[in-house]
Amino acid sequence: MKKLLAVGNWKMNPQTPKKANSLFEIVAGGVKKMKPKNTEVVVCPPFVYLSALSLRDSKILQLGAQDCFWDQSGAYTGEISPQMLKNLGCEYVIVGHSERRKRLNETDEMINAKTIAALDAGLKTILCIGEKEGERDEVARILKIQLQKNLKGIKTSVLARFTIAYEPVWAIGTGDPCRPKDAREARIYIERILTDLFGKQHAAKIRIIYGGSVTSKIARSYIDEGKMEGWLIGGASLHANEFLRIIGSIRD
């Protein structure tokens, strides 16, 4: 069985290295005490903190980046390559987050190129997909389009390092999470599309997690009822104790 995955997406927070260190330390300390056997825990701080945090014990708490570029090196002012992240000791990277799709106009083609580059660099890659508010009646169709476009040309040999985060855009940062039974339905659609793309055996290697207003009160229902294999956690991951409660909501 695949391990569950708890990923904290800090977004553009906190504002100082001191606060970032302290959040990391408290979470790492809590995870160390909990010793979860069947849950991998990852935090994704802003790029500027990764270097300092990469010197900490990565067995307890793995590091991830919130984005990467689609090429490994070259004249791309301001960009960070997947290979740089890998060389720094990052295990994970998030691509295709809806905030980047919307506010930075990232297209499906750009996200496809980033996904390929991240997997090529050896990073465990989390691709975010999900319908917008006005698309709630056509979830299956939206997920199909996103997956077909974002996963074009992905080799089956890298799928064990690949995770899909189902994040309905309307549920992100709104305090209005998706119902676990609807997440379960989305999971079924995603599995079907992945099976069409890669075949059943390869599709089964891909982890599917839920994101969107996850709190400790509801986290477990996404695993039990939603049949998800973890969570992508934004707001709640900035509160160390709440993040730890989410991780601890599944006892080994």
Contact 51, 88 (CB under 8 A): yes
Phi and psi at residue 163, in whole multiples of 5°? -130, 140
Residue 185: active-site member: no
Give the type of residue at 185.
E
219 binds ligand PGA (CB under 6 A): no
At 41, the amino acid letter reads V
How far, in Å, CA of 30 to CA of 123, rounded?
25
CA-to-CA distance for 251 and 244, rounded, in angstroms?
12
Distance CA 109, CA 106 (A): 8
User: Of 218 and 232, which has the nearer Cβ to ligand PGA?
Assistant: 232
Q: Which of 45, 64, 96, 211 binds ligand PGA (CB under 6 A)?
A: 211
* Residue (208 or 232) nearer to ligand PGA, CB: 232
Stretch that binds ligand PGA, among 14-22, 50-58, 144-152, 206-214 (CB under 6 A): 206-214
The question of whether 97 is a catalytic residue gets the answer yes
The binder of ligand PGA chosen from 66, 83, 146, 213 (CB under 6 A) = 213
Piece in contact with ligand PGA (CB under 6 A), picked from 105-113, 147-155, 208-216, 239-247 = 208-216
CB contact set of 216 (below 8 Å; sequence gap of 6+): 236, 242, 245, 246, 249
Choice among 97, 131, 229, 242 that is catalytic: 97
Single out the residue of 13, 24, 59 nearest to residue 173, CA to CA: 13
The answer to whether the CB of 67 falls within 8 A of the CB of 48 is no
- State the distance between the two ends of the chain, measured CA to CA, in whole angstroms: 13
- Whether 173 and 213 have beta carbons less than 8 Å apart is answered as yes
Task: Count the residues of the shown chain that bind ligand PGA, applying the rule CB under 6 A.
Answer: 13
221 binds ligand PGA (CB under 6 A): no
- Kindly indicate which of the ranges 54-62, 167-175, 186-194, 219-227 contains the residues binding ligand PGA, using the contact rule CB under 6 A: 167-175
CA–CA separation, 178 and 225 (whole Å): 12
Under rule CB under 6 A, residue 232 binds ligand PGA: yes
DSSP E strands in the chain: the ranges are: 4-9, 39-44, 62-65, 92-95, 124-129, 162-166, 207-211, 230-233
Minimum distance from residue 248 beta carbon to ligand PGA (Å):
17
Part of the chain binding ligand PGA (CB under 6 A), chosen from 51-59, 84-92, 193-201, 232-240: 232-240
Q: Can you tell me the distance from the alpha carbon of 73 to that of 51, in angstroms, rounded to the nearest whole number?
A: 18
Closest approach, Cβ 244 to ligand PGA, in A, equals 15
Which residue in the shown chain puts its C-beta closest to ligand PGA?
A: 234
| 190 is an interface residue for ligand PGA by CB under 6 A | no
* Complex with ligand PGA: residue 32 or 102, whichever CB lies closer: 102
**One of 234, 240, 244, 249 touching ligand PGA (CB under 6 A):** 234
Give me the active site residues, please: 97, 167
Using CB under 6 A, list all residues that contact ligand PGA. 9, 167, 172-173, 211-214, 232-236
